[in-house]
Amino acid sequence: MTSADRQPLPAPARACAALLAGVGGCGFGLLLLALEAAGHPAGLLGRLWWLLGFYTVLANLALAILMLRAAFGAPVSARQAGGVTLSMLVVSTVYHFALRSLWDPEGLQWLADLILHSLTPAFALGWWMLFAPKDGLGLRDLGAWLVWPLAYAIYMFLRALLTGFAPYPFLDPAALGWTVTLPAALLAGTFVGMGLGLIGLSRILPQSPRPGSSSSVRPARSSSSSSQRSGSR
């Protein structure tokens, strides 16, 4: 974490972070209510365990935690903000291009899907562009960002082997066999491509001003030093 990352976020950034965390929390709550109404799976713990198999849910939880930390004044690093934003962008992209046509949710399920697959990714990108620290992002950060989806892939495949349930049909080893490596490779390429896009975008977008940053105190220093020089004369 750089010295810029340790600077506090401005009040508008913290307020928007709190709002984004609330939106994500509402989406998760609506999803639990929809599952309860459908009676599948049985019990609160069963529903939570089932939901934690989905990358969408895990990514939205990570976003909510990061936004809550930001809202309460905790520092947010460029790597943390970029990694969560990347995950949310991949969540939305995969859902709309590969999963949306496979089912037709209604009622609470439709609203929860809208929030978790469309609204929170869009808001996360907007927050990152407007408020997140972005300086110094590079290929090392991309490598760090890829650790989480890789860990999820291992977790998901092990869970599918143990329980027989794969949350995503294009990543089902029991149904696809070795050919599951093809969509997995395509998904990995999506992460890499979007991650490189975020890094490129971070070098175009202006850095968000931070309260107490060196840029805000430098002019005062120079005027004070000039007055000292004039007094010494």
User: Which of 2 and 37 is assigned the larger pLDDT?
Assistant: 37
**Looking at this protein, which amino acid is placed at residue 28?**
F
End-to-end C-alpha distance for the chain, whole angstroms: 43
3-state helix, strand, coil in the chain (%, to 5): 75, 0, 25
Cβ(10)–Cβ(121) below 8 Å: no
Concatenating the DSSP letter of every residue in 176-210 gives HGGGGHHHHHHHHHHHHHHHHHHHHHHTTSPPPP-
Predicted confidence (pLDDT) per residue in 36-90, tens digit: 988 878 788 989 999 999 999 999 999 999 999 999 999 999 999 999 999 999 9
Predicted confidence (pLDDT) per residue in 101-130, tens digit: 888 889 999 999 999 999 999 999 999 999
- What's the pLDDT at 204? 93
CA distance 202 to 78: 10
- What's the pLDDT at 101? 85
- What's the pLDDT at 226? 43
- What's the pLDDT at 175? 84
201-216 mean pLDDT: 67
Cβ(30)–Cβ(112) below 8 Å: yes
